[in-house]
Amino acid sequence: MKRGLAWLVILMGFGTAGAQSDYRDLRTAFEQYQPPSHLFHHPAEAPSETLAQNDAFEAEKQRLLELKTRWQEALHDLSAAATFYPPDSQVLEDLAGARTDVAAAQAAVSQPFPQNVPEVLALLRSPAVKAADHRVRAALEKYTQVSAVDDILRRYTAFTEGAMTGVGAMRGRGGARGQFPFPGVLALKGQVVTQDVMAAREQLETARRDAVTAARKTHWRLWFLHQVLVITERTIGLLRELEQVSITRYEAGRTSFQDVIKVQVQRELLDERLVTLREQLHNAHMEIRKVLHLPPHTPIGLPQVNLAEADVPDLPSLYDMAVAGRQELRVLRARIGKMDAMIEMAETMLLPAFDLGLSTYTDQAVRQVGTQAGQPTFATRTDAAAGTGRPHKPWFGFADAYLREMRQKRQAMQEELNRLQDATVSLVRNKWFVLDRAKREKRLYQNTLVRLSEAALEVSTRGYESDRVAFADVIASYTLWLDTNLALADKRSAYGISLAALEQAVGQSFTQRREE
């Protein structure tokens, strides 16, 4: 009995020693356990991978900032190829202070000034141009907004959402699933902003084009009114001379008192017209003050014009220039480009990926072992494999309908662009016709009719003094001289105004005019 009890004690001692050894080995194995490499990246590799991802993101951010800087520098570059009117560099330098200095702008137009002075002042001072400039600068701020949300999300991921209490280098939840698309999507966002900025830039150029055109047309109207005043005053002087001649002839009994009355009536009518013309001149002064954003009492000097004809390209070239360079078309093309980038970005973010997402690490702060182990680091099965039959992205149908809607809107914008191109070609044809007619009529009056009216006036005046021409013919010759000279001034002004309208329709100024 005692011997059996002894053997039992010996066996229990061996069993306890074996259990203790097994527990010691199990504890050692547990303490030395290392997760598989596909679950945790090695701490030595994490900094280099994170650095590579950050480099791609930061490089794209830097590219967007460089784009913003280049656009800002181009805002004040009026000599670019796409600029409607590149002003003379010397005139632009001389009038640079007039952008904010009202006194400098007033001094520029208070004396006789050529046409390029109001053109440059319109570029510098027009409120419409300044408003469009601010809209471009507002669009440029979107470059900073593009990466701002991503920056905030990355910081939140790094410092808050993926925080883990542990030892050694640990990464947050900004794994490949979140970081891989960001540089590509960020680039597409940059394209969207770039197209937005391009549209705003073309709208700025449209404002500059319209301001310069308004300055040109107002300049020509102002010049025409000055010419009408000069011609009318000269005609009044000639009628006064004719009145003295008729009075002398009446006193000598060589004509009737009706001739004297007719001359006085014509002179009084022109005197009254002169008052009206001076008031119209004040209206023209107010118009140019409005275009140049000047105070209402700014003195306006005598406008100077170049009467030489412009070097207008042939009609087929004008069509090509208008289709390629008209600002309204360029704005619509930029909006179509923005739509393309938005559709591509939506496809990138909404359409199913090329893979099943089984190898895309989320790097979540979860426990992979033990009784409290959470979900795996990456997906281990698809919904179809689970037998549920549900799609991987249940809202894909809604997103697909949205994409189809965007594609249809994009096609609509393309058709609208085609319509505007056709309308632009028709507009250019009509403006060219007006210019061509004004040029032909100007040449007719300038080379033929004015000279004939001057000859008729001279002959009739001498014939009346020698009793060889009736008084009615004399009055008719004075009226003809007045009408032809007024018509010549009107045709010259109409030529300049129609040239400005054609350049506005084409969206580009032509070469400098030849000197007479």
Give percent of the chain above pLDDT 70. Answer: 66
What is the pLDDT averaged over residues 443-447? 93
What is the pLDDT averaged over residues 386-393? 46
DSSP string covering 219-267? HHHHHHHHHHHHHHHHHHHHHHHHHHHHHHHHHTTSS-HHHHHHHHHHH
Phi, psi of 113 (to 5 degrees): -135, 140
Which pLDDT band holds residue 515 (cuts at 50, 70, 90)? very low
Which pLDDT band holds residue 498 (cuts at 50, 70, 90)? very high
Whole-number Å distance between alpha carbons of 54 and 428: 52
Whole-number Å distance between alpha carbons of 304 and 223: 7
Residue ranges covered by each domain of the chain: 43-162+172-305+315-351+392-506
Whole-number Å distance between alpha carbons of 206 and 99: 19
Residue 185 pLDDT more than 90? no
Top pLDDT among 140 and 8 is at 140
Whether residue 108 contacts residue 300, with contact meaning beta carbons closer than 8 Å, is answered with no
Nearest to 446 by CA among 258, 309, 300, 293: 309
Whole-number Å distance between alpha carbons of 475 and 480: 9
pTM (2 d.p.): 0.74
Whole-number Å distance between alpha carbons of 444 and 214: 27
Which pLDDT band holds residue 113 (cuts at 50, 70, 90)? very high
* Domain 43-162+172-305+315-351+392-506 class, CATH top level: mainly alpha
DSSP string covering 444-480? HIIIIIHHHHHHHHHHHHHHHHTT-S-HHHHHHHHHH
Condensed to tens digits (0 to 9), the pLDDT of residues 18-54 reads 656 666 776 776 666 666 655 544 444 444 444 445 5
Calculate the alpha carbon distances from 504 to 205, 209, 322, 428, 453 in Å: 11, 7, 9, 9, 36
Whole-number Å distance between alpha carbons of 253 and 450: 34
Top pLDDT among 401 and 58 is at 401
Whether residue 243 contacts residue 260, with contact meaning beta carbons closer than 8 Å, is answered with yes
Q: Considering only 74-78, 121-125, 188-192, which range has the smallest mean pLDDT?
A: 74-78
> At a CB cut-off of 8 Å and minimum separation 6, what does 292 contact?
105, 109, 118, 121, 122, 125, 126, 215
Helices 327-350 & 315-325, crossing angle to 10 degrees? Answer: 40
Whole-number Å distance between alpha carbons of 185 and 466: 94
Give percent of the chain above pLDDT 90. Answer: 37
Whether residue 64 contacts residue 190, with contact meaning beta carbons closer than 8 Å, is answered with yes
Whole-number Å distance between alpha carbons of 361 and 36: 14
Give the pLDDT of residue 165.
47
- Which residues are 303's β-sheet partners? 113
Whether residue 263 contacts residue 475, with contact meaning beta carbons closer than 8 Å, is answered with yes
What is the pLDDT averaged over residues 351-377? 52
State the alpha helices, DSSP H only, in 169-180.
Answer: 176-179
Whole-number Å distance between alpha carbons of 49 and 12: 56
Q: How far is CA 101 from the centre of its chain?
A: 26
What angle (nearest 5°) sits at the alpha carbon of residue 144, between those of residues 139 and 149? Answer: 120
Residue 425 pLDDT more than 90? yes
Top pLDDT among 193 and 312 is at 312
Whether residue 438 contacts residue 498, with contact meaning beta carbons closer than 8 Å, is answered with yes
State the alpha helices, DSSP H only, in 75-115.
Answer: 89-94, 102-109
Judged on CB neighbours under 10 Å (0-12, 13-18, 19+), 485 is buried
Q: What radius of gyration, in Å, describes the C-alpha atoms of the chain?
A: 42
Condensed to tens digits (0 to 9), the pLDDT of residues 248-288 reads 777 777 777 777 788 888 888 888 999 999 999 999 999 99
Give the pLDDT of residue 300.
94
Which pLDDT band holds residue 397 (cuts at 50, 70, 90)? low
